[in-house]
Structure 1
Amino acid sequence: MNWDDVIGIRDTELVSVDLLHFDTNNPRFTPDRRPGEDTDPAIIAELARTADLSELVQSIGTSGYINIEPLVVVVRDDKLVVLEGNRRLAALKALRNSDYARYAKLSAPEFGDEIRATFENILVYRVEREEDARELIGFKHINGPQAWDAFAKATFAARWLDSQLEAENPLKLIDIANRMGDKHATIHRMVTAYYVLMQAERMDVFNLEDRYKRAFSFSHLYTGLSYPEFTEYLGMPKPQRDQDPSREPVDTEHADNLRFLLTWLYGSKERDLQPVVRSQNPDLGRVREVLRSKSGTKVLEQTSHLDDALITATPKDRRFSKHIVEANGQLRLAMETLDGFEPETQSELQEIVNSAFKRVQLIKATVDVQMSGLEASKEK
């Protein structure tokens, strides 16, 4: 088909919905939000699950589609692909095809022929190249009502930055961040983490599809990479915000370390390994503590047991202080509820109390002896 006969470049025209196709490269389709197939039903179902499509379906189905803001389209592989407006396209396709709506578990309101007629031809604006629409799309989805998540933003910004490699007047990442309306420091961290993931896939040390959980916590990685313990473990130079992120940020000699780190963050379905970082707080900080210790790091690499690695990484004096403070706190709480002891039903507690008392005596004797020795050495 000669698309110029349908709509010219940089023109805005009414186009049949039947001619419009979803953007299967949509940055919104992050690893945990990717449709199972590149088909209309699968894409509509995924947007219904992750992008509040039901609300839009109800609104359009009740009031009709209003051609105010055009969808942005481009010709790709001889198809008219929607770069901006995939949610609206999904809502229209669901309203036009009840099978699609049922598959996506969408409930559409009753509407008559007058409303249905508004679903047929919609306003679109055609760009010549995908990069011509980046600034508009980036700003809208960073700040708009349906903002993308962090990985989608990182993907969009990284693709934009990659497109500048052969540009006559290339943009820096700070320029792209400004056009997207986001803070440069945030985008820089996200794009750096994105390049780390892409490098891991190229090096065949980690695959996002192999993560243990469907949910993908991208923030674990870009937050971790802001700590020197993480970047040093990967042989990465400290990211410089006045420079664009490297597309090969990890030293190749640290490929095994990259595999370990990403597995700690995201696990492995194939190896049946759960991530050791269950929640960013406190587990990411605990991994950071482990990475400060060579012995602790070795334990984590060999066992993937964060608690064991943390014990190894924590000096005994710190562990002793921590346990004593915690035990004292628990004893205080026990004293506050001492009147709750019932000899007739809790007689076994006497043995536990006696055991605790002996331990306290031993600890006290040891502490007293060592403190006496310290005072004696000071007097000399």
Structure 2
Amino acid sequence: MNQTIEYISPDDLHFDYRNPRIAEFHPTAYTPEKEIIKILWNVMGVEEIVLSIKASGFFTNEPLIVIREDDKNVVLEGNRRLAAVKCIIDPTIADFIGFNKNLVTISPEFRDTLNALPVIFVNDRKDAWKFIGFKHINGPAKWGSYAKAQYVSQIKNEFDIPLEAIASQIGDTHKTVQKLYQGLQVIEQAENLGVFDRTDIQANRLYFSHLYTGLTYEGFRNYIGINGVPFDQAAPVPANKKEELEELLTWIYGSKKKDVAAAVQSQNPDIRRLEAVLQNTEAIHALRDGVPLYQAYEISRPKEETFEQSLLEAKRALQKAHSYQTEGFDGQNESFLRHAASIAKLADELYVAMESKYVAFKDRGKKKRLFEDD
């Protein structure tokens, strides 16, 4: 990589819409600069960079890494710093909720020091990948799983760099990088097949960790047929699992076009619940019919396990009610007494039914007296 430092006006430097750290917000080459600044400010901690620059100036020994693409100077490394400088120089560029213009108030003399920023030009993106990976992915401002997956995918698919080499460079285990890569390949394959659209999900951002975590479980992998598929395969899902792939991503992320809410509302416990459902035919059909995930999960569980948990939950609820009865029941509210009577009746009926089964089971092994004419 060329180490010659040049100085370029911030006006002539442009954000990299392919930056893995903002990929989950779906920027394109046509996304306005203001919108990218808003994303960086709200999600990537640009405010901290502003304070640092105001306190110490722009560190010339940390130049931006820039490539010439489509007749533009695109910043591959240093987008947060570029956003901070642009906001300081022209606060009107950040007219969105949450931006404090007083934060970027500076003297004209200080503003003049930011009129040209140090940059190093690279010939292509491959020339810069090792530097960016080593310095940033596991640096002070750690990247999320989706940003890492985007980065790994770009390097693997565009430059044919082995996953093991990428893992070594960014400081993650080979196994982690394999799973990140495969998770994103599943999403991209679904998009290429026309069964998923990242912009169609119900949430305002794609929670990649839901899928990334789910694909570490056997139930998910078997459902879309990727158990045993090499982790570095670009399109891992078999052709005969297209419908299952669409279902899985819809259950995880929902769909605005289909007016389907995501079955997974939080990673814990919903991803584990969904895994259990994916391994039970009756529960899968229930989920397909629109039954909430927690109910489909109950269907998937062994009946004995569900029965025991119900008994224990009822016991705990009654113990709690009993602890409050001294102050919670003054003897005047008859409806409370009726509730207790209904509970007692149900408990008696349940106990009688269970006792009958228990006695019958115990007696099953006993020999009955036999008669000659039997």
Residue of structure 2 in register with 1:136 after alignment: 131
CA contact (8 A) 2:18 2:28 kept: no
Residue of structure 2 in register with 1:86 after alignment: 79
Please point out which of 170, 175, 185 is paired with 1:185. Answer: 175
Identity %: 33
State the alpha-carbon separation in 1 of the partners of residues 241 and 113 from structure 2: 57
Is residue 9 of structure 2 the alignment partner of residue 11 of structure 1? no
Residue of structure 2 in register with 1:329 after alignment: 316
State the alpha-carbon separation in 1 of the partners of residues 291 and 25 from structure 2: 24
Is residue 261 of structure 2 the alignment partner of residue 257 of structure 1? no
CA contact (8 A) 1:211 1:269 kept: yes
Residue of structure 1 in register with 2:360 after alignment: 373
Please point out which of 48, 70, 91 is paired with 2:41. Answer: 48
Task: Tell me whether 8-17 or 136-145 shows the greater mean CA deviation.
Answer: 8-17
Is residue 24 of structure 2 the alignment partner of residue 31 of structure 1? yes
Residue of structure 1 in register with 2:342 after alignment: 355
Q: Secondary structure at the match of 2:365?
A: helix
Please point out which of 204, 212, 220 is paired with 2:202. Answer: 212
CA contact (8 A) 2:65 2:121 kept: yes
Quote how far apart the aligned CAs of 1:341 are. 4.6
Q: Secondary structure at the match of 2:74?
A: strand
Quote how far apart the aligned CAs of 1:21 are. 1.5
Q: Which amino acid aligns with 1:357?
A: A
Is residue 187 of structure 2 the alignment partner of residue 197 of structure 1? yes
Residue of structure 2 in register with 1:119 after alignment: 114
State the alpha-carbon separation in 2 of the partners of residues 163 and 282 from structure 1: 36
Q: Which amino acid aligns with 1:24?
A: Y
State the alpha-carbon separation in 1 of the partners of residues 26 and 144 from structure 2: 10
Q: Secondary structure at the match of 1:272?
A: coil
Residue of structure 1 in register with 2:149 after alignment: 154
State the alpha-carbon separation in 2 of the partners of residues 33 and 253 from structure 1: 29
CA contact (8 A) 2:181 2:231 kept: no
State the alpha-carbon separation in 2 of the partners of residues 320 and 304 from structure 1: 20
Residue of structure 1 in register with 2:13 after alignment: 20
Residue of structure 1 in register with 2:89 after alignment: 96
Task: Tell me whether 183-192 or 309-318 shows the greater mean CA deviation.
Answer: 309-318
Q: Which amino acid aligns with 2:164?
A: I
Gaps of 5+ in 2: 368-374
1:178-233 per-residue CA deviation (whole Å, 9 max, x = no partner) reads 10111222221111110000000001111110000103211110111111111111
Quote how far apart the aligned CAs of 1:110 are. 3.4
CA contact (8 A) 1:193 1:221 kept: yes
Quote how far apart the aligned CAs of 1:343 are. 4.3
1:106-144 per-residue CA deviation (whole Å, 9 max, x = no partner) reads 424432333122101121111111111001111222222
State the alpha-carbon separation in 2 of the partners of residues 89 and 379 from structure 1: 84
Task: Tell me whether 203-212 or 116-125 shows the greater mean CA deviation.
Answer: 116-125
Gaps of 5+ in 1: 1-7, 166-170
C-alpha root-mean-square deviation of aligned residues, in Å? 2.1
Task: Tell me whether 15-24 or 58-67 shows the greater mean CA deviation.
Answer: 58-67
Quote how far apart the aligned CAs of 1:145 are. 2.3
For these two proteins, the number of residue pairs brought into alignment is 365
Q: Secondary structure at the match of 2:262?
A: coil
1:11-64 per-residue CA deviation (whole Å, 9 max, x = no partner) reads 222222232211121111122474895222222122111111122223323443
CA contact (8 A) 1:29 1:35 kept: no
Residue of structure 2 in register with 1:238 after alignment: 228
Correspondence list, 1:216-231, <5 A: 216-231=206-221
CA change 1:109–1:226 in 2 (3 A) is: closer
Q: Which amino acid aligns with 2:199?
A: E
Residue of structure 2 in register with 1:296 after alignment: 283
Residue of structure 1 in register with 2:370 after alignment: none
CA contact (8 A) 1:73 1:84 kept: yes
Q: Which amino acid aligns with 2:133?
A: G
Q: Which amino acid aligns with 1:130?
A: R
Quote how far apart the aligned CAs of 1:304 are. 4.8
CA contact (8 A) 1:264 1:304 kept: no
Residue of structure 1 in register with 2:325 after alignment: 338
Q: Secondary structure at the match of 1:197?
A: helix
Quote how far apart the aligned CAs of 1:159 are. 0.8
Q: Secondary structure at the match of 1:119?
A: coil
Alignment TM-score, normalising by the size of structure 1: 0.90
CA change 1:41–1:343 in 2 (3 A) is: closer
Quote how far apart the aligned CAs of 1:344 are. 4.5
Quote how far apart the aligned CAs of 1:358 are. 1.2
CA contact (8 A) 1:172 1:244 kept: no
CA change 1:325–1:297 in 2 (3 A) is: same
State the alpha-carbon separation in 1 of the partners of residues 16 and 29 from structure 2: 14
1:309-344 per-residue CA deviation (whole Å, 9 max, x = no partner) reads 223323433322221121112222222233235344
CA contact (8 A) 1:15 1:124 kept: yes
Q: Secondary structure at the match of 1:247?
A: coil
CA contact (8 A) 2:5 2:120 kept: yes
